[in-house]
Homo-oligomer: A and B are copies of this chain.
Amino acid sequence: MADAEDNVPDSNRSKCAKAPGAAKDFTDDLKPAGPTGPDVLAKERNQSDVPIDELARHLLGRNDFLARQDRVLRVLENEPLFDKSKQMNLSRPDRYHLGLARAKKLRRLADQHGWDDEDHSMGQYLCDDVSPYMVHYAMFITTIREQGDERQRAHWTPKIQAGDVIGCYAQTELGHGSNVKGIECEARWDPKAQEFILHSPTLTASKWWNGTMGRTANHAIVVAQLLLPKSAESSEYVYHGPHPFIVQIRDMKTHENLPGIAVGDIGPKYGYSPMDNGYMLFDHFRIPHSAMLSNYSRVDPNTCTYSKPANPAVVYGSLTYVRASIIMHARLIMARAVTIAVRYGCVRRQFQDRDNNDKHAPELSVLDYPTVQIRILPLLATAFALHYTGEAMQNLYEGTRAQIDKGDFSKLAVLHAQSSGLKSLCTELAANSIETCRRAMGGHGFGGGSGYIQLNNDYLSKPTVEGDNWMITQQTASYLIKRMAAAVAGKGKPLDEVDEACRTWLKNEHEKNISPLDILRDDWKIVQAFQRRSRHLTYQAYVEREVKKRSWNSLLLQLRKVSHAESQSILVTNFYNALHSQQSQMSPTLQGHLTTLFRLFAFYTMDAEARDFLKANAVSDADLDELPTRIQQLMADIRPHAVRLVDSWKIPDFLLDSALGRYDGKVYEDLFNRAHRLNPLNEVTFNPHYKSDEIVMGRGSEELKRILAKL
């Protein structure tokens, strides 16, 4: 069981030592009171049989993740530019400077080491900056490839590859987000000049939030309302909805904004400090006909006619892939939050056992208290739950790729419809997990050494972006209600597996004299209980909407519940299936631990909404009463294995950037080092006397003037 020590990069281990040349003082020789963090974690690791490497391969085997992480990590650790230890002291403008410097360096490292795209992404992941290049690599390049026609691709691709064209994607506006049809920016075709006129008629038409645009990009994909004359001679214009245009926005030499364009960075935000989210307005800015990306929609420059081919629903499949990636990312966020919480929860001790008569007994690890366990261990289980659904989505996508490319989405259709609800639930769980863990860490959770500050500030964008979490649950609920309606009608063959499941439920369970499911003795019954509850809630919503004709908006809260119930059902089902599939060749030891985590996730989720399960006749009242006791027992079962379970996620110290969560447990040495040796504020001596406006000792009123100039 000593393998844990050998397999995790211990990049931070030397950082608690004094920097060479630093002044010596009496604190250099002090040690923390025992038991020390390293001793505590060694004991934790020795008491458990969790097979770390087997579990790590099981979780992170896809796409050579572990070897890639090690390879790229070794490069970044040796680059001073990627040292994170003092970056929290930087101003927001400096944080952009640093972000740009790192983005450039990463790209040069990619050239130098022959990294592929996945390696480069790994570099961004480990660097942990929201990179000023991010939207260039993501949306900009993808949009040119998918929306550009052959000639456009041929024109732009070499310029992008050379690094000359740096692009962003400008869709969202100051007054318009989720409702894309409502955007105000216009692209009006001028048949005489043979140009489009890009124009922002109002302030709310300003492009807003668009990453990479504020300071970095020299080009943009601009999504604007296409306006065409009714005919070549007409002066009457017709709206054709939002379309993408590629537009140069800054001078290629000076990088100054082009005349007729107001573009800049929107300023400090909750997170995303290194990213230049931008605003942009156009004042009758003219662009050529070739600017309109024309793989799908075209405008005939002479007749002004508009043509649009039957929509090749390629987006359908790739959206599923994007959603799967969001879930796979969410699980790593949770694993990271929980890794810190579990390790520090063991090292940190507080109070003796109240029932212990030995007044000299050591204080307990806080992770021994159920009040700490209940906040952390269900989240550990949830990271695994998210993993199996992310895997299932990716496997399905990859396994049916050939069909997808031919436009046959029959296998993916259900999952795609459900993916909105999954995005909503999973990013919500991950976003909440960070703050829940942080609060369980006591005072040090609030400190800069927690490792939670930037993690939280950046991740809190996720419940809003890529579809607001509350809004998009309507999509899943709408689909489920349609399928239930089809099942009630019951004509012909079922449309898909959800329709089929609804029919089965209507036939066998709905208003039938059936017993609740025996969830405490049979894991499969747990899965069935979640499914039965989801069907029940779907049916209720179907009745309200389709039978009683209730207004859609009055049902929104109920619809969200339907979506979440279905998403929870999918998570539980995929978790169960992964543990019981024939292909799974995991060791019985591992299977045992994963089964405990499965039950904890399922029971914890069920307990939070117990009444739903009762009303659906899915679980008995007596079994529901039993859940809190079961949950506490499952947590006690997991407790001794918690450290090795989080070790298995192999989050490197370099990424954690947390004194509390260090692999080696040197929590207090690291906290002290950050305060005493890495804090620039301690290099200045201040004048604290209120009657003087001297701020820094010996500098008169100079410092006050400097600060005032920044306000």
Give me the 10 closest cross-chain CB pairs, A-B, nearest first: A91-B91, A88-B268, A268-B448, A107-B690, A264-B682, A26-B283, A266-B675, A30-B203, A267-B679, A104-B690
Contact (Cβ within 8 A) B266 A689: no
- Whether the pair A94, B350 counts as a contact (CB closer than 8 A) is no
Partner pick for A668 among B86, B203, B445, B681, CB 8 A cutoff: B203
Which A477-509 residues sit within 8 Å CB-CB of chain B? none
Q: How far apart are the CA atoms of A98 and B704 in the complex, in Å? A: 8
**Distance between Cα atoms of A697 and B105 in the complex (Å):** 17
User: Is the C-beta of A552 less than 8 angstroms from some C-beta in chain B?
Assistant: yes
What are 9 residue pairs bridging A and B, where the CB atoms are less than 8 Å apart in the complex?
A30-B206, A90-B710, A98-B707, A104-B693, A182-B363, A203-B669, A262-B676, A279-B676, A557-B632
A265 interface residue, CB < 8 Å from B? yes
Bound together, the chains give a CA A214 to CA B107 distance in angstroms of 40
Once the chains bind, are B178 and A442 in contact (CB under 8 Å)?
A: yes
How does the 8 Å CB contact mask read for A230-271 relative to B, with 1 for contact and 0 for none? 000000000000000000000000111000101011111111
User: How many angstroms between the C-alpha atoms of A438 and B265 in the bound complex?
Assistant: 21
Contact of A266 among B271, B371, B679, B708 (CB under 8 A): B679
CA distance A412 to B174 in the complex (A): 53
**Neighbour of A553 across the interface among B260, B354, B440, B442, CB < 8 A:** B354
Q: A703, B88: Cβ atoms under 8 Å?
A: no
* A interface size (C-beta, 8 A): 157
Interface positions of A from 207 to 226, Cβ below 8 Å from B: 208-209, 214-218
Question: Known interface pairs A80-B711, A355-B552, A370-B554. Does A446 touch B471 (Cβ–Cβ under 8 Å)?
Answer: no
A693:B101 contact, CB within 8 angstroms? yes
Interface contacts beyond A32-B204, A92-B681, A105-B693: sample of 4 additional A-B pairs, CB < 8 Å, sorted by A: A97-B703, A172-B443, A179-B351, A440-B470
Q: Please, how many angstroms separate the alpha-carbon atoms of A624 and B612 in the complex?
A: 12
Partner of A439, one of B464, B669, B687: B464
Q: Mark A513-548, 1 if CB is under 8 A from B, else 0.
A: 000000000000000000000000000000000000
A174 close to B671 (CB less than 8 A): yes
Q: Is A83 an interface residue (CB 8 A)?
A: yes
A53 contacts the other chain (CB 8 A): no
- Does A700 sit at the interface, judged by CB under 8 A? no
Residues on the B chain within 8 Å of A208, using CB = 443, 671
**Alpha-carbon gap, A374 to B687, bound state (A):** 50
For the complex, is A164 an interface residue (Cβ under 8 Å from B)? yes
Where chain A touches its partner, the secondary structure class is loop
Task: Mark contacts of A598-618 with chain B using CB atoms, 8 A cut-off: 1 yes-contact digit, 0 otherwise.
Answer: 000000000000110000000
Question: Within the complex, what minimum Cβ distance (angstroms) separates A33 from chain B?
Answer: 4
By a CB distance below 8 angstroms, the chain B residues around A44 are none
Q: A584 interface residue, CB < 8 Å from B?
A: no
Q: Which of B202, B269, B668, B688 contacts A100 (CB 8 A)?
A: B688
Assembly CA distance A554 to B214 (angstroms): 54
Interface assignment of A399: CB less than 8 Å from any CB of chain B: no
Q: Does A288 contact B (CB under 8 A)?
A: no
Query: Of B92, B178, B469, B688, which contacts A350 at CB under 8 A?
Result: B178
Say if the beta carbon of A369 comes within 8 Å of chain B.
Answer: yes
Residue A85 lies at the interface, judged by CB distance under 8 Å to chain B: yes
Q: Mark A25-63, 1 if CB is under 8 A from B, else 0.
A: 111001111000000000000000000000000000000
A306 in contact (CB, < 8 A) = no
Given contacts A32-B202, A202-B31, A672-B203, contact A557 B374 (CB under 8 A): yes
Q: Tell me, rounded to whole Å, the shortest Cβ–Cβ distance linking A460 to chain B.
A: 7
Contact call B688/A270, Cβ cutoff below 8 A: no
Docked Cα-Cα span, A46 to B314, in Å, equals: 50
Give the shortest distance, in Å, between A612 (CB) and chain B (any CB): 10
